[in-house]
Structure 1
Amino acid sequence: MAGFKIIIVGGGLAGTLLAEGLLNNMVNVVVYERDTQDSKREGYQIRLGESAMIGIDACLTETQKNPILEKFGQSAGLTSTAPTLYNSRFEPVLDLTRLPSYSKSSAINRVTVRNLLMGPILAQDRMHFNKAFSHYEIISDDSGVEKVKVNFTDGTSDVGDLLIGADGSGSKVTASPPKSQMDENWLTLHAPTQVNKQIGARNIVDIETHWSFLAKGNLPIDRIKMLPQQLLKGPALVFARKTVLFFALYLPPKTEGQQKSAGDEIQYNQEEASFYWAFSVPKQTDKYKDVKDIPDRRKFILDYVSDWAPEFRTMLSVGADDEDAGEIIPTQFRASNKLSKRWRHNARVQGDADAALGHPRVWLMGDAIHAMQPNRGMGANQAMRDCAEMLPELLSLDRIAKAGSSPSTAQISAACKRYEDSMIDRAFTWVKKSGGTSIEVIDLDGVFGRIISILGVIFLPVARFVYLVLRKGSKEDA
């Protein structure tokens, strides 16, 4: 492919979605991923909604979209749901689906989506694995045109017109092989994002107040019947005593040809179904210096909720006796401070003669710039939305190149500014809604929870009616 060459570092959801959109428009793009192609990735559940669909619609053809849409989970016959807030007595406090403006989403397996997105990129040999990013340099070619040289820890490099950092909020600093899968998760989630750091954004921070844990497992029909049936309506989100628990089911629909089981009230693809939970608890440094020192993570969690409703013991114990039960993975949640729209200028001023700082030929997307807590499920959604806003700017630069002249740094800077001005306003609003850089410590067990519940009963029906009327009116005016 001639024209403008784009190098993407990071083969996650945002990086692969954008690459597929560029390939669909005949743009020269190559993706570098630090993991090996056959590396074991945890298939944790994510929830995709309207924002993700905007990115998917912008980048994919109908043929490419359909396999992804077919994998969305079902819940009470609906594909779009929102969590219900519970207290530690497992009493529903507020069904967020009833909030008219609350962003609803559908469950799907992260690895499933990524593999579907990678397919066309691999088919065109545009994705390279085991390539850990080291650093980039701003260079000039023989004609004096600026380029970006991207260096990898194995000593190799590539040169392009633009580098896009899609390496998430936890890219590893070192390429040294981990001793175990748990170590890999730990190292990955503790390391700074490299492109973000070198460009001078440096706005990603660890959330130090809590220890957080992730777990998932299979979901056969007998296990569904063991779990609280409220979970079939949508995820559960619990705030109690500075602790946060998110528990959700992924129930993909049966594929064509799968037989229905006689007597099963719930019909879903049991081979692909799963449960997923995330648990954040205040650090207990009086007992353990570090989360890695906890000898039995499940016991630690169950002890913490020992006086909660018995439903929680069932939920947090499910799958523990499976022969192939996965580990409960400790994770470091990270989030981002909001960037000024002049952050690149400020980085250049502070960096004096360092040409790499703030340079417009290096762009950031997704968790590499606006990492957020997972409790609103908007991290992947906003990363994929970035693709829709970034793609037209990249296509305009490619058209300039294919017309016969390499886009100038000034033209690239203007395109970057248009993308970032829109992205910063949108994405950092969701960072704030997701809790910012501190974990929410509201307690739904006491007076506050009762007030929320009462307000939900009295005012939500009225608010919903007004919202729907206004929304209908705005559509008619349009």
Structure 2
Amino acid sequence: MSNSATQPPFKVIIVGAGLAGSLLANGLARHNVDFEVYERQEKNSKREGYQIRLGEATFIGMRACLDQDQIDSISKHFGRSVSSQAPILYDKHFRKIFEPGLDPNYTQSSPISRVILQNALREPLDTMSKIHYQKKFKDFEICPGLHRDIVAVNFDDGTSDVCDILLAADGNNSQINNLCGLNNIEEISSFRSFLTRCDLPLSVCRRLSPDPSSPIATLQDGKTLYFQVYMPGDMTARFENADAENEEELASCMLGVGFFVDRMATSRSFESLSQAEKWDAVDHLFWDWSPKQ
């Protein structure tokens, strides 16, 4: 029987420093588990901050992985008032159908910028030098060790590391997922979605009709539309104050549309269209929807 005192410490490698990988890494650090995180992107890569909504299931995970000070710091960036309500469902003529927020069983959620949340989760890991950037995962192998089997993880630059548990947090195109033989993520080519984000001055935000107190969602004729305004909590008072000094202070908004490709009025393949042509084709799909949307 081997002496446990001579065994190397238990170690975890996480591939992917996105939201899931970074949150889990914080949890491992909190419980003094040895770990390393490998991320293929550069440390300061510029990526757009799309909005996401966090529900109770997310908060359960945050409470398990983060200290209260970290949670409080992240909570300051949640959208307040003008964007914290549940989405309202409309038909394509902009007639209200259903308000989920009025249902007592509806689970509330809070909006936040994806980049703001990701930066907050990565900050303590960067301080500990636990995230290794520009490390693209290549493959892994199980190797017999002196005391137990280990996982050897290899990267494109020729470097490698070893661990007891390899965790895949490398997104919906996960290489690890495929190498494990799961292959449970299938691409749906018949349905497409477009997502865009832009800055929104307060002066414009106030003129929106209806007011942006809730996200807007429409699903009809095999098409979907989603629109949401995101305003950090510290901007809420200035939104409500029409005499605010800086009317051009920026909130942001997000628009997402989805549709079946075979309903597009073009004989060319969707992939062959330029970005402008794709938007024109999508715009044509919604020609009979209310201009308010």
Q: Are 1:306 and 2:287 an aligned pair?
A: yes
Q: 1:84 Cα shift?
A: 1.0
Q: 1:266 Cα shift?
A: 9.0
Q: 1:155 Cα shift?
A: 1.3
In the alignment, structure 1 segments of 5+ residues that lack a partner are 171-192, 313-478
Q: Which residue of 2 aligns with 1:431?
A: none
Whole-Å separation in 2 of the counterparts to 1:67 and 1:271: 22
User: Is the CA contact 1:22–1:28 (under 8 Å) kept in the aligned structure 2?
Assistant: yes
Q: Are 1:4 and 2:10 an aligned pair?
A: yes
Q: Which residue of 1 aligns with 2:3?
A: none
User: How do residues 329-408 of structure 1 correspond to structure 2 at under 5 angstroms?
Assistant: none
Number of residue pairs matched by the alignment: 283
Whole-Å separation in 1 of the counterparts to 2:13 and 2:247: 38
List per-residue Cα deviations over 1:22-75 (Å, max 9, x = no partner).
Answer: 112221111001111121112100000111100111111111111110000023
Whole-Å separation in 2 of the counterparts to 1:132 and 1:221: 41
Could you state the TM-score of these two structures normalised by the residue count of structure 1?
Answer: 0.56
Q: Which has the higher mean CA deviation after the structures are superposed, 197-206 or 119-128?
A: 197-206
User: Is the CA contact 1:245–1:279 (under 8 Å) kept in the aligned structure 2?
Assistant: yes
Match of 2:129 among 125, 131, 140: 125
Larger % of helix: which? 1
Q: 1:295 Cα shift?
A: 4.8
Q: Which residue of 2 aligns with 1:333?
A: none
Q: Which residue of 2 aligns with 1:160?
A: 163
Whole-Å separation in 1 of the counterparts to 2:166 and 2:209: 47
User: Is the CA contact 2:79–2:110 (under 8 Å) kept in the aligned structure 1?
Assistant: yes
Q: Which residue of 1 aligns with 2:172?
A: 169
User: Is the CA contact 1:252–1:269 (under 8 Å) kept in the aligned structure 2?
Assistant: no
- Identity rate of aligned residues, in percent? 35
Q: Which residue of 2 aligns with 1:55?
A: 61
Q: Are 1:42 and 2:20 an aligned pair?
A: no
User: Is the CA contact 2:201–2:248 (under 8 Å) kept in the aligned structure 1?
Assistant: yes
Q: Which residue of 1 aligns with 2:108?
A: 104
Larger % of strand: which? 2
Q: Are 1:91 and 2:95 an aligned pair?
A: yes
User: Is the CA contact 1:8–1:15 (under 8 Å) kept in the aligned structure 2?
Assistant: yes
Residue 24 and residue 144 in structure 1: after superposition, are their counterparts in 2 closer, same or farther (change >3 A)? closer
Q: 1:228 Cα shift?
A: 2.2
Q: Which residue of 2 aligns with 1:283?
A: 261
Taking only aligned residues, the RMSD between alpha carbons, in angstroms, comes to 2.5
User: Is the CA contact 2:49–2:116 (under 8 Å) kept in the aligned structure 1?
Assistant: yes
Residue 262 and residue 211 in structure 1: after superposition, are their counterparts in 2 closer, same or farther (change >3 A)? closer
Match of 2:229 among 249, 265, 286: 249
Residue 266 and residue 20 in structure 1: after superposition, are their counterparts in 2 closer, same or farther (change >3 A)? farther
In the alignment, structure 2 segments of 5+ residues that lack a partner are 1-7
User: Is the CA contact 1:253–1:267 (under 8 Å) kept in the aligned structure 2?
Assistant: no
AA at the equivalent of 1:22: L
Whole-Å separation in 2 of the counterparts to 1:199 and 1:53: 30
Whole-Å separation in 2 of the counterparts to 1:43 and 1:123: 22
Q: 1:200 Cα shift?
A: 1.8
User: Is the CA contact 2:135–2:157 (under 8 Å) kept in the aligned structure 1?
Assistant: yes
